[in-house]
């Protein structure tokens, strides 16, 4: 979905296209899930948090 910022009419048009296209919705949903699973992995977040705690613990 691409549209110019602040262009409500184009946003509405793209939303309607998406609403009518089950295949496109499925692909977008699958891609979003993959992105979240990679970027917000529980182990990755825990390791990052632990690293930050170690940084502030050091004098």
The string of pLDDT tens digits covering residues 14-56 is 999 999 999 999 999 999 999 999 888 899 899 999 999 999 9
Domain assignment present for residue 38? The answer is yes
Domain assignment present for residue 26? The answer is yes
**Considering its fold, how many domains does the chain have in total?**
1
Domain assignment present for residue 19? The answer is yes
What pLDDT was estimated at residue 1? 85
- The model's pTM is 0.62
DSSP 12-24: HHHHHHHHH-HHH
Q: Is the distance from CB of 3 to CB of 14 less than 8 angstroms?
A: yes
C-alpha neighbours within 13 Å on the C-beta side of residue 26: 3
Domain assignment present for residue 1? The answer is no
Token pair, residue 28, equals 């977008």
Domain assignment present for residue 18? The answer is yes
* Cα separation values, 41 from 4, 34, 37, 48, Å: 32, 10, 5, 11
Domain assignment present for residue 2? The answer is no
Span 1-19, average pLDDT: 95
Q: Residue 50 belongs to what domain range? A: 8-57
């Amino acid at each position: 979905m691409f549209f110019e910022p602040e262009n409500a009419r184009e946003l509405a048009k793209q939303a309607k296209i998406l609403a009518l296209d089950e295949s496109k919705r499925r692909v977008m949903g699958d891609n979003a899930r993959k992105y979240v699973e990679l970027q917000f992995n529980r182990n990755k977040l825990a390791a990052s948090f632990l690293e930050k705690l170690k940084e502030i613990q050091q004098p």
